[in-house]
Amino acid sequence: MGIYIIRSFFIILGTLTGLYIAPNTRLMGALTGLGGSLLIVGIEILIEKIPLKKLLLAIGGLLVGLITAILLASFVLLIPVSEPRTIIYIRFTLYFAFTYLGIMIGLKGVEELGFIFPFLRGVKEPERLLVVDTSVLIDGRIYELAQGGFLDNIIIIPKFVIQELQGLADSAGDMKRQRGRRGLEVLQHLRSNPNMDVNIYDIDYPDIEAVDAKLVKLAIDIGANLLTNDSNLAKVAEVQNIKVLNLNILATLMRPNLMSGEEIPLKIIKEGKEAGQGIGYLEDGTMVIVEGGTKYLGKIINIIIDSALQTSTGRIIFAKIK
């Protein structure tokens, strides 16, 4: 509440100052004072919403741009010009162009500068940076998650992951080729959606051969989380204190819990390993083993849930015929 009172007081003071400076044109002076104070308050509110490190980078870019413009302008003064106004125009153009470029490069180049200057890595919230590996792009569920608003992150896709997808898409094997093309299509959908913040990082680690090791190195360098379906990569990343999100684990957690004694319809698809067992699958892919279900092969029957077993590969449900 106090900050609004101070701002209001400043606006009133600015208006009265305009009246005092221009007593002969009171209306114009008051409007000028009011407009000036509103502009300053607006700039103050805008600066308040900008992170401190970004603001410092913008100021740094401004200073670098000004220094560059001054040096170039000094060089231009050595060139004989017949019209003095030309020098003024050239100086103004240089100052305007290089200050703007300095500020924008300072703001937009934060991620790339973070690889060189570690103290700049915190400009973006580390928890929002999410490095995506090849398996997630091939899987494709990341697009639906992000589109549904469940993945409010800055998605980081390094160039070496794109190169791996291109290598799969150009491979001789039909299965690998399909996987690579699917990954590239998902990537294209992510980048074409204006509501998703997707950044392509043009970075590589020539001294590291394995893509998984490069992903871990990148996540450490920029302080990001890692999104993967690869359990081995997840274990390596977790050992190095990287937060890992696994879509397969998420899908397992989101499966509905069927209670013992609950009745559901199920189509028996094939025979089980044990005599008389029939096997069917729920909509989410969970395997259901039905005692005595072999004789109903190819039919939909009502079953009663008996128990469930959680394994490393997923969940198995045991049931019996109603």
With b meaning 16 or more CB within 10 Å and e meaning fewer, what string describes 108-120?
eebbebbeeeeeb
User: What is residue 123's predicted lDDT score, i.e. its pLDDT?
Assistant: 45
Q: What is the CATH number of domain 263-321?
A: 2.40.50.110
- What is the per-residue pLDDT for 185? 92
When mean pLDDT is compared across 142-146, 281-285, 287-291, the lowest value belongs to 281-285
Domain ranges in the chain are 2-119, 129-253, 263-321
The CATH number of the domain covering residues in 129-253: 3.40.50.1010
Instruction: Indicate the range of 63-72, 74-83, 136-145 predicted with least confidence.
Output: 74-83
Give bridge partners of residue 310 from the DSSP assignment: 315
Once rounded to an integer, what is the mean pLDDT over residues 56-64? 77
Indicate if the pLDDT at residue 201 is higher than 80: yes
pLDDT at 21 over 50: yes
Residue 11 has pLDDT above 60, yes or no: yes
Average pLDDT of the segment spanning 190-196: 82
DSSP state of 258: P
Which pLDDT value is given to residue 69? 80
pLDDT score at 215? 92
pLDDT (tens digit, 9 = 90+) per residue, 105-120?
776 655 555 544 444 4
Equal fold, 129-253 vs 263-321: no
Residue of higher predicted confidence among 203 and 125: 203
**Given a cut of 60, is residue 3 above it in pLDDT?**
yes
State the number of CA atoms in the 13 A half-sphere of 247 facing the CB: 21
Checking if the pLDDT of 273 tops 50, the result is: yes
**Of the candidates 16, 43, 13, which has an alpha carbon nearest to the alpha carbon of residue 29?**
16
